Amino acid sequence: MVPSTPSPPHAAEPGGAPPRSAPRRSRTALRNGRADRITLALMIGVPTLLVVGLVWLPAAATIVFSFTRWDGIGGLDTLEWVGTQNYTDAFTLYPPFWPALRNNLIWLVFLFLVPTLLGMFLAVLLDRELRGGRIYQSVFYMPVVLSLGLVGFIWQLIYSQDQGLLNTFLGATTGAEPVDWFGDPDINLYAVLVAAAWRHTGYIMLLYLAGLKAVDPSLREAAAIDGAGPVRTFTSVVFPALRPINLVVLVVTVIDALRAFDIVWIINRGRNGLELISALVTANVIGEASRVGFGSALAVIMLAFSLVFILIYVSTLLRGADR
């Protein structure tokens, strides 16, 4: 991590990253001295200030709030320290917590089982020069440009209880009773997941297509000469070579499963079978109850999960960038 440039004598600051690190002079002397140094300081300082001030500080503040009780209306002096009470409450007293955690987990597993595998399969198919390959690609990733909320609305036309296509179709063919796909707490999560998968698959396919393009073709040729069939070639040669992209897909999927919010919020504010941690946080914080401390504790639980994967991801990416 530490670059080989010897540090200038005045730069004996302790390690870690001081947020407003003054830009170092490169070995080449700056032509315009002072003016250039001010320009450099501004060019890195303003973006750093924004990222630290509007992302990292608020994240830190959320962690602090999670140990307090606060209605969010009064000033900061009305904060009441309650220790880990909010966390205990979340785990033991708050009814939607475990369903939400379970739903987030189902969301994650589902994203891995269906869109990830399907997206990978489609990428492998489309990686060969097929007729119409470009058109297929466009079709599969078109939903990616739609917001998850809009995806929810579009699928309501299919899922609606009284007028949706699915019930009309089922009723006409099998005479089944109409099902409230988005309303029935036993099935609405899966109905939503199908819609979410519709959008996620194209993204995964795109990532794997990029990854497959980067796989050295001679690997495949060698496998073919050794007499490996297409399936064998993929499992024992291509897939291991896709390791970097697998990591990206893993992280993207975990983060997406944690962040999922729009679609359940639009359907029913994340209640009645559609509980997700993200929706619980939002409901606690901007809802009428306005339980800031408690909502923050839920947010910190999200934060903790995602930080694990963010750290793996960032360190791997940066190790690559360091080369």
Partner 1 sequence: MTATTTAAAPAPPRGAAPPEPRRRVRPARAVLQIFLAVTALAWLFPIVWALVNSFRDYEFTAQHGYLSFGGFTLENYRRAWVEGELPGYFVNSLIITVPSVLLILFLSSCAAFVLTHYSRRFNLVMLAVFLAANLLPVQALLVPLFRMANAVPLPYWISESGAVYDSHIGVVLVHTAFQMGFCTFVLSNFMKALPPSLIEAARVDGASVFQQYWRVVLPLCRPSLAALATLLVTWIYNDLFWALALLSSGDKLPITTALQNLQSSFFVDYNLLSAGSVLIALPTLIVFFVLQRHFVAGLTLGASKG
74 binds partner 1 (CB under 8 A): no
Q: What are the CA-CA distances from residue 205 to residues 138, 191, 263 (Å)?
A: 11, 22, 22
Give the tokens for residue 95. Answer: 């009814």
Show contacts with partner 1 in window 51-70 (CB under 8 A): 51-59, 61-62, 65
Residue 154 contacts partner 1 per CB under 8 A: yes
Q: Are residues 302 and 285 in contact, defined by beta-carbon separation less than 8 angstroms? A: no
- Select the residue interacting with partner 1 from 79, 108, 144, 215 (CB under 8 A): 144
Residue 143 touching partner 1 (CB under 8 A): yes
Cα–Cα distance, 80 to 308 (Å, whole number):
30
Check binding of 308 to partner 1 (CB under 8 A).
no
Task: Count other C-beta atoms under 10 Å from residue 280's C-beta.
Answer: 26
**Residues of span 214-243 touching partner 1 by CB under 8 A:** 214
The reply to whether 272 sits near partner 1 by the rule CB under 8 A is: no
Closest separation in Å from C-beta 174 to partner 1? 14
Residue 209 contacts residue 137 (beta carbons within 8 Å): yes
Q: Is residue 197 at the binding interface for partner 1, with CB under 8 A as the rule? A: no
Which residues, at least 6 apart from 238, have a Cβ–Cβ distance to it below 8 Å? 124, 212, 215, 219, 220
How far is residue 179's CA from residue 183's CA, in Å, rounded to a whole number? Answer: 9
User: Applying CB under 8 A, which of residues 105, 286, 289, 308 lies at the interface with partner 1?
Assistant: 286
Query: Smaller CB distance to partner 1: residue 219 or 310?
Result: 310
Q: Phi and psi of 30, rounded to 5°?
A: -75, 135
Compute, in degrees rounded to 10, the torsion defined by CA atoms 42, 47, 50, 53.
Answer: -80
Is 35 a residue that touches partner 1 (CB under 8 A)? yes
Considering only 87-95, 176-184, 219-227, 293-301, which stretch makes contact with partner 1 by CB under 8 A?
Answer: 293-301
Of the candidate residues 105, 113, 139, 222, the single one contacting partner 1 (CB under 8 A): 139
Give the binding-site size for partner 1 (rule: CB under 8 A): 123
Asked if 310 interacts with partner 1 (CB under 8 A), we say: yes
Interface characters, 92-121, with partner 1 (x: CB under 8 A): ------------------------------
Among 103, 116, 160, 188, binds partner 1 (CB under 8 A): 160
Q: Sign of the C-alpha dihedral, residues 303, 305, 310, 311?
A: positive
Q: In the complex, what is the shortest distance from the CB of residue 83 to partner 1, in angstroms, rounded to a whole number?
A: 19
The residues with which 50 forms a beta bridge, in sequence order, are none
C-alpha 44/C-alpha 38 separation (Å) is 10
Quote the least distance from Cβ 109 to partner 1, whole Å: 19
Position among 12, 93, 172, 225 found at the interface with partner 1 (CB under 8 A) = 172
